[in-house]
Amino acid sequence: MEKIVVKCINELKGEVNISSAKNAVLPIIAATILCPQNITIENTPMLEDVRVICRLLGELNCDVNISQFDDKLEINTKNIVPIDADIELIRKMRASFLIMGPMLARFGYCKLSMPGGCNIGSRPIDLHLKGFKLLGADVTSDHGFVEVKAKKLTGNRIYLDFPSVGATENIMMASVFANGTTIIENAAEEPEIWDLANFLNSMGANIKGAGFGKITIEGVDKLKGVSYTPIYDRIEAGTFMVAAAITNSKIKINGFNEEHLRPLIEKLKECGVKFGNYENNSVIVDGKVEKRPLDIKTLPYPGFPTDMQPQMMSLLSVVNGVSVITETVFENRFMHVAELQRMGANIKIDGRTAVVEGTLKLTGCEVKATDLRAGAAMILSGLIAEGETIIGDIYHIDRGYVNIEEKFSKLGAEIYRVKM
């Protein structure tokens, strides 16, 4: 069993290169099902989730070539077969469910087991299925499986009760070949939604309004192969922004989109952190300042991202004063609180609200990554905790961060992986 060891440091220095966004790459990989031609995805983050969805495409008889040397992913789905996908692969990663929309669009049929993923809260697929039904598909769900089928999909107006990212992506992909016009209202607005639409449009789809809450898709007959580079990972960039803040350091982040990170930037500025030298997708983050407590409420984009809540809690646990964090997106996203408390953090939970009273210091100990972003929070806390922090269940971290030990090591951190 592997674990990550983090030791207390004085300061981070240098610069870090941000990878492409996991949450952008995964739906883009799923969307390759729509096109039976060669597709190249440049600067692919070689993460466990990426490997899982690639293995899933392999199960469907697709040609998938992953180059470890230049982070290039080449996919050809010409010979894909519409068979029932491997149960364990679907359960292993929730994003695997995103193949249902493109499979339905291309073959008029798909059957999958119910999806899995992190245990951070309920993420029902009812909105995905609602969209498929409104496009004309027959949907049945029984004994842990979901089956959708349709002779021909027809465009329709679809209102999402909640701006679900996965449902927006799945319905958008399912609509690419539908007859007529599909309109998705109250659609998710995350940058990854825009990126998926941009990828589909580069292949010949006709999608407008992605990223603005109302998406219009005009059905087309076919798509063509392309080479595409996804957007930078805003959550990885945000994690290193918080790393500069929590370690009282000044670092440069390369692979930075200010617009995508606006909610986090504003909160960090409110905390006292300084930002400067915005140029060429880079920024200097200066955490050598006195920090102030915050009130944070997570919301769907463009609100404060739930994926940055654990990392911000690590920071606020050592900021003098009382901070309040309200989690509105996932009901189980405070599982990392118990791990921070082991390190000496003073945090009290009341329902979906956490009251964080800053403490003078944290102490290294053995903790675990209860989910992907909680794992990042443990690393951040370990950077400033006295002594040594040993993090278990790091497979969660590997799902979302590329070479995280190497990137922190280049900034001067003492962090490494061991087998125990």
Picking from 264, 335, 334, the residue whose alpha carbon sits closest to that of residue 305 is 264
Q: Which residue out of 8, 118, 271, 365 is catalytically annotated?
A: 118
329 labeled part of a ligand binding site: yes
DSSP string, 262-321: HHHHHHHHHHT-EEEEEETTEEEEE--S-----EEEB-STTSB-GGGHHHHHHHHTTSSS
Helix pair angle (262-271, 234-246), 10° resolution:
10
Per DSSP, 99 falls in state: G
Decide: 169 and 27 in contact? Cβ < 8 Å: yes
- Sign of the Cα torsion 178, 228, 73, 191 reads negative
176 labeled part of a ligand binding site: no
Picking from 95, 74, 81, the residue whose alpha carbon sits closest to that of residue 26 is 95
- Rounded to 10 degrees, what is the CA torsion of 166, 167, 170, 174? -170
Query: Quick one: three-class SS letters along 216-246?
Result: EEECCCCCCCCEECCCECHHHHHHHHHHHHH
55 labeled part of a ligand binding site: no
Q: How far apart are CA 277 and CA 100, in angstroms?
A: 43
123 labeled part of a ligand binding site: yes
274 labeled part of a ligand binding site: no
126 labeled part of a ligand binding site: yes
234 labeled part of a ligand binding site: no
Which amino acid is it at 89? L
Pairing of strands 39-41, 227-228: parallel
Per DSSP, 150 falls in state: -
Decide: 153 and 175 in contact? Cβ < 8 Å: yes
DSSP string, 154-165: B--EEE-SS--H
Q: How far apart are CA 418 and CA 8, in angstroms?
A: 17
Q: How far apart are CA 148 and CA 251, in angstroms?
A: 49
Asked about 118 being catalytic, the answer comes back as yes
Q: How far apart are CA 345 and CA 334, in angstroms?
A: 13
Contacts of 207 (CB under 8 A, 6+ apart): 172, 176, 197, 200, 201, 215, 216, 217, 218
What phi, psi does 63 have (nearest 5°)?
-90, 120
230 labeled part of a ligand binding site: no
Q: Residues annotated as binding site for phosphoenolpyruvate?
A: 22-23
Q: Residues annotated as binding site for UDP-N-acetyl-alpha-D-glucosamine?
A: 94, 123-127, 307, 329
**Residues recognised as catalytic:** 118
Q: Residues annotated as binding site?
A: 22-23, 94, 123-127, 307, 329
